[in-house]
Amino acid sequence: MSLLVKICGLSTRETLQTALDAGADMVGFVFFPPSPRHVSLETGRELGRQVKKRALKVALTVDADDATLDNIMDALSPDIFQLHGRESVARLRDIKQKFGRPVMKAVPVATSADLAVLPGYAAVADRILFDARAPKDATRPGGLGAPFDWHLLENLELDLPYMVSGGLDAENLAEAVRITRAGGVDVSSGVESAPGVKDPELIKAFIRAARATRELSVR
Ligand SMILES: O=C(O)c1ccccc1NCC(=O)[C@H](O)[C@H](O)COP(=O)(O)O
């Protein structure tokens, strides 16, 4: 199975089309107003129509309530919810049951202690996304363009598909995959010319680099 590639934080028709034409497996849309990549429900509806099943639509939320998730379901009809806040295991179970969609739980990583949450989430989530833990003063929990120490995942044994993210770009993703054995890579800042401004050439370069990376994951 080849490496899964997720391009996150897409917000325009043109860059979404670039990601789809370049072969992205997942396209992520951020529904979190403080983010420079935030999209409105109407933009989400329009971009969602453009995907036409060429990739999995990932709705990225942060501690969203049911009404927000319901509105996103109506607008985007996501294939996966990416839960990037402090959602509990019980909340993951609740969301899966209420909305009938797979969930990918973002796990922030700074030290090995951050991995203690895995057994609980792994029992409910469909996928895990390891991301760099945001600094305490950050205005958002992700999309910050900073990597974490991939060696923290070197001896990971996780019976669930997982992706690595945080500060990835076309130049470092192969090393991140080699060390973490992740089955997928996710990027936002590394394919942007400015916060929230996706660069078509960087998107294509990232996907080319991912396709050239030998699949090492055991999952
Ligand atoms: O991208 C955002 O602005 C964002 C805002 C709030 C929560 C999560 C967010 N992004 C989550 C992602 O899946 C990013 O792709 C991931 O954090 C990696 O981002 P980057 O380090 O910029 O590549």
Ligand 1 pocket, mutate which of 60, 62, 169 (most atoms under 8 A from CB): 60
Ligand 1 lining (C-beta closer than 6 Å):
8-9, 28, 30, 32, 35, 37, 60, 62, 84, 131, 140-145, 165-168, 186-190
pTM comes to 0.97
Instruction: Quote ipTM for the complex.
Output: 0.99
Ligand 1 pocket, mutate which of 29, 84, 162 (most atoms under 8 A from CB): 84
Q: Which fold has domain 4-211?
A: TIM Barrel (3.20.20)
pLDDT band at 204 (very low <50, low <70, confident <90, very high): very high
Quote the tokens at residue 81.
């919810």
**Residues forming the active site:** 8, 131
Q: Which residues are 108's β-sheet partners?
A: 131
Q: Which 8-state DSSP code applies to residue 184?
A: E
Positive or negative, the CA dihedral 163, 49, 23, 40 is negative
Measured from the Cα of 186, ligand 1's closest atom is 15
CA dist 147 and 35 (Å) reads: 18
User: What is the percent of the chain with per-residue pLDDT over 70, rounded to a whole number?
Assistant: 97
Distances from the Cα of 130 to the Cα of 65, 113, 119, 168, 172, angstroms: 23, 13, 14, 12, 16
pLDDT tens profile 38-47:
999 999 999 9
Tell me how far the alpha carbon of residue 37 lies from the centroid of ligand 1, in angstroms. 9
**Does residue 38 contact residue 31 with C-beta atoms inside 8 Å?**
yes
pLDDT tens profile 98-123:
999 999 999 999 999 999 999 999 99
In the chain, where the domains are located: 4-211
**Does residue 125 contact residue 162 with C-beta atoms inside 8 Å?**
no
